[in-house]
Amino acid sequence: MKKLTYFALALLTGFYQNASGQQTPAPAQSEVISVTGATAHIGDGTVIENCTLVFENGKITALGAGVSPQGRVINAAGKHMYPGFIAPGKSLGLIEINAVRASDDQDEIGSLIPHVRSLIAYNAESKVVESMRPNGVLLGQITPRGGRISGTSSIVQFDAWNWEDAAVKVDDGIHLNWPNTFRRGRWWLGEDRGYQPNKEYQEQVEEVLSFLKNAKVYGNGQGSPVNPAFEASQGLFNGSKRLYVYAQDEKQIVDAITSLKEAGIDKLVLVGGYHAYRVTDLLKKNKIPVLVNFTHSLPEFDDDDYDFTYKLPKMLVDAGL
């Protein structure tokens, strides 16, 4: 028997749901349910034949080949069970149709807006969200876009009537787009179209660090007058929120980690990390996890291996991340 404490739901492949219109969220679980006889794929390469899975109050309580069934029993012989997928850093439920501005809540006005909360704009009835569960994606980190500091994300589950019911972890982290060290030339100003050093890089970094410094000072004071942006940032300094830093190249990553650690932020997550494999020692030293880009994408540079983006996660795992 294996005790599991994380929130999850099992999916049974081979079942077909003939549904029309909006998906109806399931009611709260009222009894213990056991799924027996299935082949369970744990997610780490482990496969358990003739497995029994027991869950109660929406959480898996037992899983294994020798587990005794409890409560209502569902015979899943010949079926396969997989953990539900979690989609991090997505704007699901914040935008419905790109061309319709009224349906687009992923990007708010302003550059430094950590107080913008994606959760209250989340549309649980989105047709895009409804397409997730049949494909095995059960939870997501609903994340705002745009600006330098985009706002605050929350974790939701995709089987809910509204954002209050959907919320699993409220305001889990703030998202920072670290300045680019290079940028494409602005052809309309007569610049070369190719990549060139960003002359405003240091100024943009100082803007971020100045904001964080002022937010920390604000938190150490009386907080008067109230500053919503500084107020929302306090979780970065007391450890209740993570800072998700979007950075790709080596200099970006090194500058971001070094500067943000000096600013007093302990919980960092690197997002993107195209060149993270070059600074694995720094990442391990500071215990920083990495959320890589889509693996099914082309490499950024001509001299990269054609399958670089696909094998990057394995390279980072082999390095101890």
Q: Are residues 303 and 184 in the same domain?
A: yes
Residue 73: other Cβ atoms inside 10 A:
15
Could you tell me if residue 173 is inside a domain? Answer: no
Q: Are residues 33 and 106 in the same domain?
A: no
Long-range contact set of residues 216-220: C-beta below 8 Å, sequence gap at least 24: 216/263, 216/264
Could you tell me if residue 252 is inside a domain? Answer: yes
pLDDT band of residue 195 (cuts 50, 70, 90) is confident
CATH number, domain of 214, equals: 3.20.20.140
Q: Are residues 209 and 310 in the same domain?
A: yes
Q: What's the pLDDT tens digit per position in 209-251?
A: 999 999 999 988 876 688 999 999 999 999 999 999 999 999 9
Q: What's the pLDDT tens digit per position in 50-77?
A: 999 999 988 899 999 989 999 999 999 9
Residue span of the structural domain in which 90 resides: 84-145+153-160
So what's the pLDDT on residue 22? 66
Cis, bond preceding 225 (omega within 30 deg of 0): yes
Could you tell me if residue 126 is inside a domain? Answer: yes
Q: Are residues 97 and 192 in the same domain?
A: no
Could you tell me if residue 169 is inside a domain? Answer: no
- Choose among 81, 80, 100, 87: nearest CA to 132: 87
Could you tell me if residue 166 is inside a domain? Answer: no
Model confidence, pTM: 0.85
Q: Are residues 51 and 112 in the same domain?
A: no
Q: Are residues 241 and 274 in the same domain?
A: yes
SS3 of 71-130: CEEEECCCCEEEECEEEEEECCCCECCCCCHHHECCECCCCECCCCECHHHCCCCCHHHH
Mean pLDDT, residues 188-214 taken together: 87
**Domain-ending residue, one of 33, 61, 83:** 83
Q: Are residues 193 and 311 in the same domain?
A: yes
Q: Are residues 60 and 137 in the same domain?
A: no
**Domain-ending residue, one of 83, 106, 121:** 83
Could you tell me if residue 4 is inside a domain? Answer: no
Q: What's the pLDDT tens digit per position in 143-164?
A: 999 899 999 999 999 999 999 9
Q: Are residues 230 and 311 in the same domain?
A: yes
pLDDT, mean over the chain: 87
Q: What's the residue count for the chain?
A: 321
pLDDT higher than 50, residue 12: no
User: What is the domain count for the chain?
Assistant: 3
Burial classification of residue 120, based on how many CB atoms lie within 10 Å of its CB (0-12 exposed, 13-18 middle, 19 or more buried)? exposed
* DSSP 8-state assignment for residue 264: T
Residues 93 and 129: beta-carbon distance below 8 Å: yes
Mean pLDDT, residues 272-292 taken together: 94
Could you tell me if residue 20 is inside a domain? Answer: yes
Could you tell me if residue 257 is inside a domain? Answer: yes
So what's the pLDDT on residue 11? 39
Which of 163 and 191 is assigned the larger pLDDT? 163
pLDDT higher than 90, residue 192: no
Q: What's the pLDDT tens digit per position in 79-130?
A: 999 998 999 999 999 988 888 877 888 888 889 999 999 999 999 989 999 8
Taking phi first (over 0 means left), then psi (-120 to 50 degrees means alpha), and beta for anything else, what does residue 220 get? Answer: alpha
pLDDT higher than 60, residue 208: yes
Q: Are residues 187 and 277 in the same domain?
A: yes
